[in-house]
Amino acid sequence: MRESEITPAEAEPSAPVVRLRPIRTLVVSGDLDYKDRALTVISELGPAAFAVGSLSAPEDVLNLAAAERADVVVLDASGCEHDAAAVLSKLAERLPRVGIVVVCQHCSAAAVELDALPKWGWTQDLRAGIERAYREGNPLCPGLLASVRRNGPRERRGVRPLTER
C-alpha cells in the first residue's frame, strides 16, 4: 500500500446526512384504523396525507401521488398484494423518483415478494423505510440507485440475512 492511501478503518467517520427539506408522504389504505398511527409516525418526517382507497385502480393512486407531490407513497397491501404490485409497476413507469413503502397485515408469500413491512410493526421501521424509499426512489426502476439497493441487505429489526442463519 502506498503511503497516500487510506484504508476504510483509518478514515474519519462520515458526518450524518441532513435532509434539506421535509419528506412529503402519501399513505393509501382502506383501513381507517391505520390512519392515526401512520400519520403520527410519518408526520415527524414532513407533511403527510392519507387517502382512503383501494389499490385496485393503479391510475387513481398515480394521480393522487402526482397531485400530492409525494416523495414517498406508503401502500397498504393487506389482502390486495397483487393490486399493490400493479401500482408499483405503474408508479415506476410514470413517477420513478417517488419512493414506495409497502405495508401488509399478514406475512404472506406475496407480501414477502413485495418486501412489505409489517403494518402494525415497529414505528421506527416504518420511519426508516420511508427515509430509505425517499433516498432510493421506486425499487422497480433501473439505474444508478438499483445497484445501491442490491448491494446492501435490507435492515430489519431482529431479522438476519439468510446467509447468516
Domain spanning 25-164, CATH architecture:
3-Layer(aba) Sandwich (3.40)
Q: What are phi and psi of 41, to 5 degrees?
A: -70, -45
User: What's residue 120's pLDDT?
Assistant: 87
The sign of the torsion formed by the CA atoms of 145, 64, 80, 35 equals positive
Q: Say how far apart CA 15 and CA 37 lie, in whole Å.
A: 31
- Whole-number average pLDDT of the chain: 78
131-165: pLDDT as tens digits:
999 988 887 776 544 444 444 444 444 443 444 44
- pLDDT tens-digit readout, 13-24: 555 555 568 999
For the whole model, what pTM was predicted? 0.74
How large is the average pLDDT for residues 76-93?
88
pLDDT tens-digit series, residues 108-126: 777 788 888 898 888 899 9
What is the secondary structure of the chain as a DSSP string? --TT---TTTSPPPPPP--SSPPPEEEEES-HHHHHHHHHHHTTTS-EEEEE--TT-HHHHHHHHHHHT-SEEEEE-TT-HHHHHHHHHHHHHH-TTSEEEEEESS--HHHHHTTPEETTS-HHHHHHHHHHHHHH--TT--SHHHHHHHHSPPPBTTB--GGG-
Q: What is the pLDDT of residue 28?
A: 93
Grid coordinates given for 125: 421501521
